[in-house]
Chain A
Amino acid sequence: MLRFFLLLLLPIFLALPGSKVLALTPTFETDIQPILQAKCARCHDDKSRKGDLHLGTLAGIFKGGESGPAVVSGKPGESLLYEKVHKGEMPPEKKNRLNASEVQSIKDWIAGGAKGKEGPLALGESPNQHDVIPILLRRCSACHGRHRQEAGLDLRNKAAILRGGKSGPAMVVGKPEESLLIKRVRAAQMPPPSRLVEASVKPIEQGEVETLARWIASGAKEAAIEADVASQTPDPLVSDKDRDFWSFRTLAPVKIPQVKDPGRVRNALDAFLLHSLEEKGLGYSNEADRHTLIRRASFDLTGLPPAPLEVEAFLSDKSPDAFEKLIDRLLASGRYGERWGRYWLDLAGYADSEGKREQDLPRPHAWRFRDYVIRSFNADKPYDRFLQEQIAGDELADYEQNAKVTPEVYDNLVATGFLRMAPDATWANITGFLPDRMEVIADEVDILGSGIMGLTLKCARCHAHKFDPIPQRDYYRLLAVFKGAFDEYAWLKPEVRPGIGPVSQDVAGGRHLPLVAGEERRAWEQSEAALTEKINEAKARGDKEKVKALEGQRQAEPRVQALWDRGDPSPTYLYRRGDPFSPGRLVGPGVPSLLTDGKTPFIATPPWPGAKQTGRRLAFAQWLTRPENPLTARVAVNRLFKHHFGQGIVKTLGNFGRAGALPTHPQLLDFLALEFIRQGWSFKAMHRMMMTSAAYRQSSTVDAKRLRLDPDNSLLSRMPMTRMDAEALYDSLLLVAGKLEERRYGPADPVQGRPDGLVTPQGAATGWRRLIYVQQPRKKLPSHLELFDYPQMNPNCLERRDTVNASQALHLLNNGMVRELASSFAERVRREAPGDSTRQMELVYLIALGRPPASEEKRLGMAALKELEEQWKSHLADGESAGGKAHAEYCHAILNSAAFLFVD
């Protein structure tokens, strides 16, 4: 710590009271201040303190910024100021760099003691509670903290230290060497070396012991230091100019532009798109035919191809709003939530295991969150509510006082599983240290920042954001918002199954609440009670084997993987360079300054009378979902737009900052965002608007002119052709084969791995369920998912890739399950049109591609069938089955064809 260091230096200076400063040693006011004024003041004066650094005064330099003190007196090599100017990293603009003699002056000045006219800065302050609390938290609180007070001792604050434990007060103020705390630590009894790993604690360092001792010696002072929070004075770190960037500005009403060809405008969205196209001398492409439209719309909303009957109904509907009706029907389908819920699960980084360690600890209750997401989409839950539940569901309604778990309370709690999705190995002691915990928190912040806020918040973990006006302070204010739930000093660990890993010292408890809806709970209780009865009977009979067998039938208690505020959060310190062992200033909860006026305090109150919860996350969630928040709605509609039209209006879905892409249609984005809010944050309303536009109905055919004037289709001069994603492909293969079991919800279906690395879902007798219901363990992902660009959730994925490669070809051609499904598909077709080969071929096309075959396709198909059958005949004794085998192979080819894999 700075103060500590200066104190060490003090005696050196004091020893030279009368000595004259050498003429050659520079002095701050005359030699250094002018250089800093000329080269650094633009960003580091007392008004604009970039990186929270003020270089105008000696005090400011010693206080330093987010990365710590700028100068270590006497040691240029350890002084950030010297390092930055010496390496030419600062000032950032080349032309302003310091010349060699200026750099030398700074070096000499620091080496000579970094003095001002009045001599060295008198900063001989003794340590205060904020110098010692972080030490006690990181070294002692695992056993003497919030959820564990060994020997009755709590070391988290002065009062508790004085109160002491079984052996008496831990501290005698003024007398460090008589204080138990110091005695035990100096004797290397505490923290106990052999139990460090058990508690995931690193040993205390000598410097830390000295700080504790000096604090006690100097009276265990408690300085009146307020946590750094937004106040009513303008923010020195983020200016209104910083906020003046397109995405940080509040949404303002947009004028719908005029177009030359109003005939192609079906709704306002078209006016914006067409206007941009017309400026380039382009217009929309022709409307796609109805076969194409229904296949496109079905995949878009349900992730599955339309059934032949649906195609027929749509084709024969001559009413002008036939397509609108189709969209409504698809939106009402339960399949819709399975398709759109999946996008959200990607955003959240959903996985059925913790990852990071070899054991890949399972998350047996994660599926409830998956179901919650699917149900929410199907119910068209307003996005503002959806976010509030996921960020602060535990603070929306009192779940502790009420005996009954209402569906609402259940949803609220399951929703908070959103911020439990990051990979996490902190269940094991050796990977559960402070930095490991911070890594988990950082991942959760990254998910929140990129997925919902459109900000690369993660960059501000170690330093001020390089591109956006996000001071490091704002990152830690956000951590303070979450501290009631994510407290690195009172950490809830993922629950370890018996047999995995050693027992921890740190027993804060797990992350599950036994709060499932009454019905499920009752069913479980009844079955357990019935089982207990049977066991007792067997015991009475003395049938030990039976008892054992029955015990094995016990079901785990149904529980919810959740995030909840436990009240009494630890203080939040800014971590210099992201290092939790280098705490800086105390900060309080708050929202990123760039999204506010910078002078509105963040106010959080307990959510209901008598609540132990801080209410901080609820206040944050409510702020996030205010219509005035410039990013929330923009980011959401942009993502929706991407999934419908192939690319976002802002192409960097999770980065709306300065390093992100600029919007191709800024007015349209704002219009959609406003419309989204106006329609009550309804996703379905937005789907309807986007999909019933003329833009969406365009053909995906490209011509030379469009390729020239709109090469990457960012003007949307046509619809993009898309490759089915992993789920759409897998589910479609099952559907066309007649093997898709459309049972929704519930625990995930297991996967099985083969020694050669192939991982497949375990099918049931009734068929296979959609891929979203198949287990997704991080280390044992179904091969099909991996091959077709299912992302590694690290921690999440906003945009999947859609590659085309040889491994996919090999999979579709050679995989046994694909081939088996092709056979089932063939059998189905032969069952539905027995003996009629023409009709069979038509059915193959209708079922797989939503259209009848073209004449050339028929010709190719018939010829191939004939050849295939002949080949099989020459290999089989039984001529009858040759036809079936040939047909299966034909279906296999169709499922391998580009026409099946791509959607026009």
Chain B
Amino acid sequence: MANADHNPTRRALLGGMSGGLYAAALAHLQGLGLSRSNAGEPPPAADLQPRPPHFDPKAKSVIHLFMNGGPSQMDLFDPKPALDKYHGQTYFEKIAAEVESPQSAGAIMRSPFKFAQHGQCGMWVSDALPHLARQVDDIALIRSMHTTNLTHEPAVYLMQSGKMGPGRPTLGAWVAFGLGSECENLPAFVVLDDPLGLPINGVENWQSGFLPPVFQGTRFRSTGSPVLNLKPEFSQPGEVTRLTRALVARLDEQHRQNRPGQPVLDARMASYALAARMQLAASDALDTSRESQATRDQYGIGKEPTDSYGRRCLIARRLVERGVRFVQIFINAQIWDNHTALATDMKAACLRTDQPIAALLRDLKQRGLFDSTLVVWGGEFGRLPIAQLAADKDERKAGRDHNKNAFCTWLAGAGIKGGTTHGATDELGLKAVENKVSVPDWHATLLHLLGLRHDQLFHMDNGLRERLTGVNEVQLVKGILA
């Protein structure tokens, strides 16, 4: 961190506390910036060495289950009896500017799903999520999220990077920048995207913006070659590969000896060494066949429609187990973007993800990782209380359009008060009204759980302190903290 107080005693102390890997970590392991652009400021961290947080953290790692597309809050977590009452009444004129597709706007629509209270806490969950319903005492639900744009791209950018446009560092990149990594052989920020396709905004979802690229998310694919360039794209005997690498190492050693006092050359040699280790470590982390059949069954691996998402959830657990700081799981394209056929399509999205997510929560608990891992679920916005109709106006195929003024997210694990329901929306679920949580509030709360102060985590860019939360006034979501 640009601001970190680099007191070795403090660092060693905190490093020891947070897993003891600090001392073992190699300096300049994966990256080193050559240029320093800000006089008067210490050069910003450009490596994955573990760095102490600002205060004692609750969480050491994050698994972000990013439900891109905009899951419908009033069909999953936020029951609205008023929708039943006003079902069929016209409402569009009142909210015209909040509707992305006015031509297909219909009347107020009740939820096709049934709600019930679950767990000791009595949290309301719809029957679309039967597996999660059994874990509600572990999660804290926020019903009062709101954002600033009702279009996917800007809303996803905001959720991921704090700004409604491309080019800013993403959440995972900020966390990697702030805390470095506890793992020598794997990237700090790993992205598990869906083999079926990229989410909206594609690879921009894990970019590092003005932070060094070492903090960028690395895509691990759950099938095929796990990381781009991890294996040679040409065939040659393994021994030839080994000889070539040995030659590079010897030539580089020569080169370095003739140029003492150039730390970048050390970093360069280390980067080739890491590249070799990463080839092994990544393959190992991704190998779910090493898990017991019982575990794989829990996640729904090997059966449809849970196999793909279950596999990624299990890999996420294997990654945080190995010290990866931030894992983000994506779902292909827009399965939550239920403009049409909400009753069937949203149900399908739940069927793909519900069991794996519940299994992940249980698995983390069983392995003692729940106290150090923060699990976050949510999309970029919510949906409207009115129906969205296709050209034939068939209500059985109705969906819901985007809604920026209310949506739900939940958090679980380290530092979270399980069983909490925080905030509330209005009668129709159109707008968050009580204990409202903005996206910057949510970001700051995530950072807080990791021991980072949102106003102290900054990067000097052209003389200015750039932060994830920007210049927004921010309030932590204290109601969900343990």
Contact = CB atoms under 8 A, between A and B. Distances in A.
Given A872-B237, A897-B255, A652 B463 contact: yes
A783 interface: yes
A783 B219 CA distance: 13
B302 interface: no
B278 A794 contact: no
B463 A456 contact: yes
A651 B140 CA distance: 46
Interface string B238-268: 0110011111101110111001111011011
B234 A803 contact: no
Interface in A435-455: 439, 450
A893 B102 contact: no
B269 to A, nearest CB: 8
B39 A662 contact: yes
B153 A197 contact: no
A119 interface: no
Contact of A807 (B103, B150, B166, B229): B229
With a 10 A CB-CB cut-off, give which of A439, A456, A664, A807 has the most chain B CB atoms.
A807
A431 B268 contact: no
Given A197-B99, A792-B207, A856-B254, A814 B230 contact: yes
Contacts of A890: 247
Contacts of A814: 229-233
A813 B218 contact: no
B272 A809 contact: yes
Contact of B34 (A722, A792, A857): A722
Contacts of B471: 462
B92 interface: yes
A579 to B, nearest CB: 12
A806 B37 contact: no
Interface string B91-127: 0110011011111000000000000000000000000
Contact of B251 (A193, A803, A860): A860
Given A794-B165, A810-B275, A802 B35 contact: yes
B464 interface: yes
A63 interface: no
A701 interface: yes
Contacts of A805: 30-31, 213-214, 271
Contact of B243 (A196, A702, A871): A871
Interface stretch (B15-23, B220-228, B371-379, B442-450): B220-228
A807 B218 contact: yes
Contact of B228 (A654, A659, A757): A757
A191 to B, nearest CB: 9
B97 A803 contact: no
A338 interface: no
Given A792-B166, A814-B230, A723 B102 contact: no
Contacts of A898: 251-252, 255-256, 265, 268-269
A203 B36 CA distance: 49
With a 10 A CB-CB cut-off, give which of A660, A664, A806, A815 has the most chain B CB atoms.
A806
Interface in A850-904: 854, 856-857, 860-861, 864, 867-868, 871-872, 875, 885, 889-890, 892-894, 896-899, 901-902, 904
Nearest to B225: A756
Interface stretch (B80-88, B196-204, B417-425): B196-204
Contact of B248 (A660, A867, A896): A896
A263 interface: no
Given A193-B92, A805-B271, A810-B275, A425 B463 contact: no
B225 to A, nearest CB: 7
B240 A872 contact: yes
B305 interface: no
B252 A721 contact: no
A206 to B, nearest CB: 13
A823 B210 CA distance: 36
Interface stretch (A304-312, A355-363, A516-524, A666-674): A355-363
Given A431-B154, A652-B37, A661-B40, A758 B228 contact: yes
Nearest to A654: B462
A659 B463 contact: yes
Contacts of B97: 196-197, 202-203
Contacts of A493: none
A487 B171 CA distance: 34
A647 B203 contact: no
Interface string A535-560: 00000000000000000000000000
B143 interface: no
Contact of A652 (B39, B165, B225, B237): B39
The size class of the interface chain B forms with chain A is: 35 or more
A703 interface: yes
B475 interface: no
A779 B233 CA distance: 24
A810 B276 CA distance: 8
Nearest to B279: A810
Contacts of A654: 462-463
A1 interface: no
A661 B93 CA distance: 54
A814 B228 CA distance: 9
A194 interface: yes
Contacts of A889: 236, 240, 243-244
Nearest to A895: B248
Contacts of B272: 806, 809, 813
B130 interface: no
Contacts of B259: 700-702, 721, 904
A830 interface: no
B188 to A, nearest CB: 12
A712 B36 contact: yes
Contacts of A450: 462
B57 interface: no
Contacts of B275: 806-807, 809-810, 813
B38 interface: yes
Given A657-B463, A703-B261, A651 B38 contact: yes
A698 to B, nearest CB: 14
B233 A358 contact: no
Given A356-B165, A794-B168, A857-B254, A804 B31 contact: yes
A815 B230 CA distance: 9
A111 interface: no
A498 interface: no
A819 B231 CA distance: 13
A835 interface: no
A809 B34 CA distance: 17
A654 B38 CA distance: 11
A655 interface: yes
B273 to A, nearest CB: 9
B93 to A, nearest CB: 6
A885 B269 CA distance: 25
B32 interface: yes
Contact of B271 (A712, A793, A809): A809
B435 interface: no
B151 interface: yes
B166 A356 contact: yes
Contacts of B232: 813-814, 819
A803 B33 contact: yes
19 contacts: A193-B96, A196-B96, A202-B97, A660-B462, A701-B259, A702-B261, A779-B201, A787-B213, A794-B165, A794-B209, A803-B34, A803-B46, A807-B229, A810-B227, A810-B278, A857-B251, A868-B244, A875-B240, A890-B247
Given A202-B97, A814-B229, 13 more contacts: A188-B93, A356-B153, A357-B153, A430-B100, A653-B37, A661-B40, A803-B46, A804-B31, A805-B31, A807-B228, A811-B229, A875-B240, A898-B256
